[in-house]
Structure 1
Amino acid sequence: MRIAYVSADRGIPVYGAKGASIHIQAMMRAFEALGHEVRCITARSGGEGPFSVETVSPSQSGADREAKERAAMAQAEAIAERLETLHSDWSFDLIYERYSLWSAAGVRAGARLGVPVAVEVNAPLIDEQRAFRELICEAEARALESEVLRGASLLAAVSEQVATWLRQQGAGADRVQVIGNAVDTRAFHPGIEPNASVPDGAFCVGFTGSLKRWHGVDTLLTAFRALRADVPEAHLLVVGDGPKRGWVEGFVAGAELQDSVTLTGWVDHHDLPPLIARMDIATAPYPASEDHYFSPLKLYEYLAMGRPVVASDIGQTSALLQGSDAAQLLPPGGAEALARCLRELAKSAGVRARMAAASAAEGRRHDWIDNARAVLDHVAARRSAA
């Protein structure tokens, strides 16, 4: 099969280092691992790499917010046109597009060419844009969203919360499938040797991800300070960077935890496994939220590495870990409960060993190749039923 992969979001370079870019690369690699040919048409490549990637350059630039939004729409339409010309030279069987705010490129080209279109939906982007940034051309954004939701053969929602939102927006329930994030189990596995600046013999509590308020790093630090009072050998390994870095450093200094906290700063994705391998407990301490709709990559990486997980009982995190011996789920934002849980686990190597074994087994069930196969199976089933 030939697959045209579309990424029309200018803010997500194909060869970037953050989670969205990792997701793009992982899905293309997974499709290829299944024996399919993949070509990517994108608004921004971000450099060079192992995949066949073609950038459709913007025809407009934007001096203000409205101009930038209209330029993004024009670039997406140019991507749709490029898909049509590509099809005449390289007849593809499927368009796979990562849903972006200003693009209906995949569904437009698919309708014109008679090619099925799978759209991967990671978030309600209009809601995000309104809440965290600025949105001028809202009517146009909603029209594009409606066009995508109506025209896609498959809407692959990253979580049940996103799937619910899609159905609320009018997407046919038979076209919506939950396909969460995943992990490359060849790169993340329990056999990797630890390599981190953590003292030998320390009970290492770990965290990976952006240092943002909705990742719960404040809850983690508060809990760790309480843990140290009873478990002096505890050490906190924080892998990542972000807007709360200064706050984190200030907290650590104020609590006199400098010798028991390691802040790595930003780390390339391929350097994560040895750091995670050093963690005795891997955490995802999300705060309470009414719209916790994302599917955290870190959880799949923790599991694939065979790390015992302590996480908030919220959203897709609950769906992934509920009932599993790999994790202990706690009330979101509860620093006292987190400290108590970590304290108990520090004193119970046997429990940690059982959790680690269950974690590794669960992690093996969530490879990106499984996601790619699920997408293709759902598309094939839709075509057979048509």
Structure 2
Amino acid sequence: MKILYHHRTRGQGAERVHILEIVNALRKLGNEVYILSPPGVDIEHSKHDADKPKKQWIKKVYDVFPQSILEILRLSYNFFAYFRLKRIVKKYGIDFIYERYAFLTWVGPYFARKHHIPIILEVNEASGLNEVTGQVLVGLATRIERKVFQMADAIVVVSDFLKRYIQRMGINENKIYVIPNAVNLGLFNPDDVKNDLRRELNINDKIVIGFVGAFVSWNNLKLLIDIFKDVSKERTDIHLLLVGDGPLRGELERKVHQENLKDKVSFTGRVEYEDVPKFIHVMDICVIPKSNEYRSPMKLFEYMAMAKPVVAPRLEPIEKVVNNSNGLLFDAENRASLKEVIKALVEDAPKRKEIGKMARRTVKENYTWENNAREIIKIYKFLEGERYIWHKSCCLNSATKP
């Protein structure tokens, strides 16, 4: 089967990981998958692409231009992407398009409808929900979005919240499928970690509380540092390991210094995605300080795959995965609740081990990219069956006309 994966992202961070994992999983099932990316983005062959001069120039544009101009540029993408889609479909004989939906992007469903090619639209967020960047043309985006969702043959979302949100736009619930995010068990395998970083990080005898991800406001690392400070007053044998980078790193480092926690908190800086398992491996407790009701955090599945006890906010997408046997939940945005859960795990090593074991089992059985790829293929085959029935019905109706 020949599949075209279309996206309009910068091909960095979690977006890049998600795209490549889906593509690779589809290929493992024996499919030919072609990727159509925006100009300047080579998502498959450029692990360090963000450091290249062209990428740095694009980043400067994003940093300098006002949001309104960026949104106009995103709208303009649709017009020249149409012809790129046409070339690839004609060259490779694409069976169906799988598109990662992006704000103000309508070209994929429009092209697919016009050329009678099935399209499955993956939706990770919708207009008005985006926490990452402010949105200016929300009204226009909402109108485009509704039309795009109507044109799509099927829609894949990562949470029930998103399914309900899209349904309220008048979209048929039967074409919306909930497929949470997943993990690469080959990469995130605790048995394969050869290098224990505890000695290198000088945390040999510590109970390590850890976080992996971007240092941005919506991850609320300030809350995690505050909770750690409180717990460390009672337990001097704990250490906080913060893996990653981002715009708030300097502010967080200053906070750690002001709170006299410099010897108890480590910042690793940016690490390659392939090295993330080594850092999770040295953690005893893995924390997601903040999430929201519509996202499916990939770090949740990565922590669990490394057989670590996860502490995460009590939100619907997370509750679908985590229960008391494979992780612990706290009341979202509740400082006392988060402290209570972290403290309980700090004081109970056997419980940490048992929860971690169950966490690994949970993702192994239910949350792999291969499973997600199989679900995508099932959706396509269902669509093909529906098209066959429709086509046959049309032919019969034509044959019976006088």
TM-score for both structures, normalised by structure 2: 0.85
What is the aligned-residue identity percentage? Answer: 25
Q: SS in structure 2 opposite 1:118?
A: strand
What is residue 91 of structure 1 aligned with on the other side? 93
What is residue 23 of structure 1 aligned with on the other side? 18
User: Structure 1: where are the runs of 5+ without partners?
Assistant: 52-57
What is residue 223 of structure 1 aligned with on the other side? 227
Call closer, same or farther: CA 1:198–1:27 in 2, change over 3 Å: farther
Q: SS in structure 1 opposite 2:263?
A: helix
Q: Deviations over 1:318-351 (max 9, x none)?
A: 2221x35110111112233323322222222211
Q: Which of residues 10, 15, 33 is equivalent to 1:13?
A: 10
Contact 1:198/1:262, CA 8 A, preserved across alignment: no
What is residue 38 of structure 2 aligned with on the other side? 43
What is residue 278 of structure 2 aligned with on the other side? 274
Report the Cα offset of residue 276 of structure 1: 0.4
Call closer, same or farther: CA 1:109–1:198 in 2, change over 3 Å: farther
**1:294 counterpart = 2:295:** yes
Report the Cα offset of residue 77 of structure 1: 2.7
What is residue 350 of structure 2 aligned with on the other side? 350
What is residue 327 of structure 1 aligned with on the other side? 327
Distance 2:40 2:274 in 1: 19
What is residue 214 of structure 1 aligned with on the other side? 218
What is residue 397 of structure 2 aligned with on the other side? none
State the aligned residue count.
Answer: 367
What is residue 55 of structure 1 aligned with on the other side? none
Q: SS in structure 2 opposite 1:352?
A: helix
**1:173 counterpart = 2:177:** no
More helix, by proportion: 2
Contact 1:126/1:141, CA 8 A, preserved across alignment: no
Q: SS in structure 2 opposite 1:125?
A: coil
Report the Cα offset of residue 221 of structure 1: 1.0
Distance 1:230 1:70 in 2: 54
Q: SS in structure 1 opposite 2:24?
A: helix
User: Structure 2: where are the runs of 5+ without partners?
Assistant: 47-57, 388-402
User: 2:184 is aligned with what amino acid?
Assistant: D
User: 1:219 is aligned with what amino acid?
Assistant: L
What is residue 265 of structure 2 aligned with on the other side? 261
Q: How large is the RMSD of aligned CA atoms in angstroms?
A: 2.4
Distance 2:149 2:27 in 1: 27
Distance 1:253 1:66 in 2: 38
User: 2:273 is aligned with what amino acid?
Assistant: H
Q: SS in structure 2 opposite 1:28?
A: helix
User: 2:296 is aligned with what amino acid?
Assistant: S
Contact 2:209/2:238, CA 8 A, preserved across alignment: yes
Distance 2:231 2:94 in 1: 56
Report the Cα offset of residue 48 of structure 1: 6.3
TM-score for both structures, normalised by structure 1: 0.88
5 Å-filtered alignment, 1:184-195, equals: 184-191=184-191, 192-193=193-194, 194-195=196-197
